[in-house]
Amino acid sequence: MRLSKSLIPTLKETPAEAQIVSHRLMLRAGMVRQMASGIYAWLPLGQRVLAKIAQIVREEQDAAGAEEVLMPTIQSADLWRESGRYDAYGKEMLRITDRHERELLFGPTNEEMITAIMRDSIKSYRELPQIPYHIQWKFRDEVRPRFGVLRGREFLMKDAYSFDLDREGAVVAYKKMMLAYMRTFQRIGITAIPMRADTGQIGGDLSHEFHVLAPTGESGVFYDAAFEAGDATSATDIEAFYEQMTTIYAATDEKHDLAAWDKIPAERKREGRGIEVGQIFYFGTKYSEAMNFAVTGPDGQKFFPEMGSYGIGVSRLVGAIIEAKHDEAGIIWPDAIAPFKAAILNLRQGDATTDALCEKIYASFGNEALYDDREERAGAKFAEADLLGHPWQIIIGPRGAVNGMVELKRRATGERFELPVEEALAKVRG
RNA sequence: CGGAGCGUAGCGCAGCCUGGUAGCGCAUCAGUCUGGGGGACUGGGGGUCGUGGGUUCGAAUCCCGCCGCUCCGACCA
């Protein structure tokens, strides 16, 4: 993309309503625009990040054996009456009436709908297990939306639902998802820690929340430094991995256990703040039973499949990542989800040699680099690139250009390299 | 849902108390200079002052209603 032609409306001044750093930076970087309380439009930069996160989530869900579907945002009230949650959910549910006076709602989650779909489709235990998932917008009419996309009313969520023959199978699905989640967060480039959790609205008896460590998190978290050494992407034994994740100490302040905490050696104790970006539940036959989703078992008898559900707040992750990865100058995107691999900074727009070299480099990246071709001074371009947080800045000025040299800056560390063009490009491509 | 505020140019704000020509900075447009950390100068454009009513000769300003948004607290992917 050429910056001069992109819809990236950056701001020098911080809009008054933004209190938290990720919200300020998202507005200043032109990633989102607020359209109503807790409702955001995603502009190109934000949309790119959202899409990159979603793609990693998708790849890891697929790898865990889940299968992508796409359910609607609007649901029928009748579906929710079946589970009994239509009344139970309360004012957080956005209720809608159509022209025929039929009662609809904007889905806050999809347990009912997916259970109804499975009920229509799955008749035999031979067709289990199944883990359908989708990445779709949800709406929860929060009492007080705040912190930008961290607590919006409309948000993008990946939700998966597991259906198994028995509890044992459901626990296997649960463990697979635990691994998939840890792999997902690791690939994205953030530290997330699974913590035992309450099951809340969804119900059930086994649940973990995943918290991204960030100084501005809403919950206090306590954990054993052993988590920092974990490597989910190279874990091969799910059982061992799950065992490790669930035995190392980690708790939010609500569930903090001082007795257990005191047994951890002082040098391994870590206290911080966390932002919840995912939660997984095992809840047995709560919904299959309520909605009469029965399947014929090996013995010819009907049984209710054992279920779990697994959510990742995709749009919330964008905010959480910024909370965890920024400095005074702006955002510092992890490589895997950066909207662009690099910014190309033309420091002398209009100088034939510089322009030509910039164009050549830009062409070699296609859509993966943002070319700052504006008529701006060097300082403005540096500041803008730092704000937008590209992992690399390829800085091209007239002095270097005549010798085929460019300067490379690594956003995260501030390191700079003077390199011949090809070497610089190779470094950016990793 | 309790409490507190705020709506004036794209953004940040002043003006309101004490009614009388709607202002400042940034951004934007044109031009000149400048050219490695948000540069300078000159000139220009941009406003139903959230909205409806009331008081008044006259309302951004005073009064009432409504709408929107934010913050603090209780609740939550």
- pLDDT tens, position by position, A127-164: 999 999 999 999 999 988 989 999 999 999 999 999 99
What per-residue confidence (pLDDT) applies to A218?
A: 84
Tokens of A306: 């054992």
CA-wise closest residue to A135 among A75, A73, A54: A54
Tokens of A58: 């998708």
* Distance B46 C1' – A22 CA (angstroms): 31
**Which positions of chain A have pLDDT values less than 50?**
none
Q: What is the pTM of this model?
A: 0.96
Minimum CA–C1' distance nucleotide for A348: B35
Minimum CA–C1' distance nucleotide for A159: B77
Question: Domain spans of chain A?
Answer: 3-330, 340-429
The CATH classification number of A340-429 equals 3.40.50.800
CA-wise closest residue to A8 among A259, A269, A430, A374: A374
What per-residue confidence (pLDDT) applies to A199?
A: 64
Interior angle at CA A389, CA A383 and CA A392, nearest 5? 95
Backbone φ and ψ for A145, nearest 5 degrees, come out as -65, 145
What per-residue confidence (pLDDT) applies to A18?
A: 85
- Tokens 């809403």 correspond to what residue? A218
What per-residue confidence (pLDDT) applies to A202?
A: 55
- Work out whether strand A192-196 and strand A206-213 pair parallel, antiparallel, or are unpaired: antiparallel
C-alpha to C-alpha distances, A256 to A194, A283, A391, nearest whole angstrom: 14, 23, 37
* Distance B33 C1' – A23 CA (angstroms): 38
CA-wise closest residue to A28 among A39, A38, A17: A17
The CATH classification number of A3-330 equals 3.30.930.10
* Distance B56 C1' – A16 CA (angstroms): 35
List, in sequence order, every beta strand (DSSP E) within A228-349: 250-252, 269-284, 295-296, 302-303, 306-313, 326-327, 330-331, 342-346
* Distance B31 C1' – A375 CA (angstroms): 15
What per-residue confidence (pLDDT) applies to A117?
A: 98
H/E stretch holding A424 reads helix A421-429
Nucleotides of B strand lying within 7 Å of any protein CB atom: 1-2, 10-13, 25-27, 34-39, 68-77
What per-residue confidence (pLDDT) applies to A358?
A: 97
What per-residue confidence (pLDDT) applies to A265?
A: 94
